Each structure stands twice: as structure tokens, then as C-alpha cells.
């Protein structure tokens, strides 16, 4: 798994913007770097209770990330049209990236080990990257119930540290 201090692998994925089911455009990580910290929030699947709770907590905290010029992106193996429907249903205010071929979750080392031999999905994890693409913070979900408000606060603090010159 990618660790703090390592350079994040570059990737290009379809980006679901959430304005309509077909609101899809290309996204390259290299284009997002240099505009402030980047938050990559990997999650197993849209429309599930835990993922909805996590992404809605990000939604409700987005003003705090916007103040730090941070780009926040959800990443799952869901197809972009499904991500768009989910964005609209939950009124999410940040885009989703579709790792439909599962390459990025493998490169970042976040394939959920509980899903092996059944279905390959992302392990719930969050990476904060600086302008150069270096990982400055990493969180991976532990066993048990997750306090998403506390996790998002920790991520916001990591973003604030990363944003400081």
C-alpha cells in the first residue's frame, strides 16, 4: 500500500460530475496537482450505507476543504453513469472518479482483501497529496464502526498542513 512520503502513481480516469447521468469527462491526476492539496477518497461502492455516510460527511464539510483550495475526489470501481446518479441522489458537491478497470486501486494498494475471489472493490481509504504528488497523509479504515466526522476532521487538518508553504 502506498505510504506517506511516497509519490502517488499517476492515473487518468473518467470523472463523473453529477450534473446529469452522462456528465462524464476525462480526468488526469497530473492536471489536478499544483492547484492545492488533492484528496483521494477511495470507497467500495456507491449506493451502500457506509459509503453514503462517508461521502455525505465530505459533502457537508466541503466548504472547509474549499477554503484550503483542496480538490476532493471520490474513487470507486462503479461506472460513471451510476456515480452520476448517486451524486445527484445524495446531492454530493464534488466529483467521483471511475476506476472501472480496477487499475488505480491496485496501484495504490487499496484492493479490499475481504473481497478477493468475489468482487474487486476499493478498501475504504483516503490519501492527501501535495502539489508534487507526494502522499502527506494516509488513512485506511479499521475494523468496527467508523466515526466519519472524526476521520474527515483529521483529513481536513492534514490538508491544512499540506497547504501551508
State the catalytic residues: 51
Q: How many CA atoms lie within 13 A of 61 on its CB side?
A: 23
Amino acid at each position: 500500500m502506498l505510504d506517506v512520503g511516497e509519490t502517488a502513481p499517476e492515473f487518468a480516469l473518467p470523472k463523473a460530475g453529477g450534473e446529469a447521468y452522462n456528465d462524464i469527462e476525462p480526468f488526469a491526476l497530473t492536471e489536478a496537482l499544483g492547484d492545492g492539496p488533492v484528496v483521494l477518497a477511495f470507497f467500495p461502492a456507491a449506493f451502500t450505507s457506509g459509503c453514503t455516510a462517508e461521502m455525505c460527511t465530505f459533502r457537508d464539510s466541503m466548504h472547509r476543504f474549499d477554503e484550503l483550495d483542496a480538490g476532493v475526489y471520490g474513487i470507486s470501481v462503479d461506472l460513471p453513469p451510476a456515480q452520476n446518479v448517486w451524486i445527484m441522489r445524495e446531492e454530493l458537491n464534488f466529483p467521483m472518479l471511475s476506476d472501472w478497470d480496477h487499475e488505480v486501486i491496485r496501484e495504490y494498494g487499496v484492493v479490499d482483501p475481504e473481497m478477493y475471489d468475489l468482487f474487486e472493490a476499493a478498501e475504504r481509504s483516503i490519501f492527501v497529496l501535495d502539489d508534487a504528488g507526494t502522499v502527506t497523509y494516509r488513512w485506511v479504515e479499521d475494523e468496527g464502526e467508523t466515526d466519519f466526522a472524526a476521520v474527515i476532521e483529521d483529513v481536513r487538518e492534514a490538508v491544512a498542513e499540506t497547504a501551508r508553504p
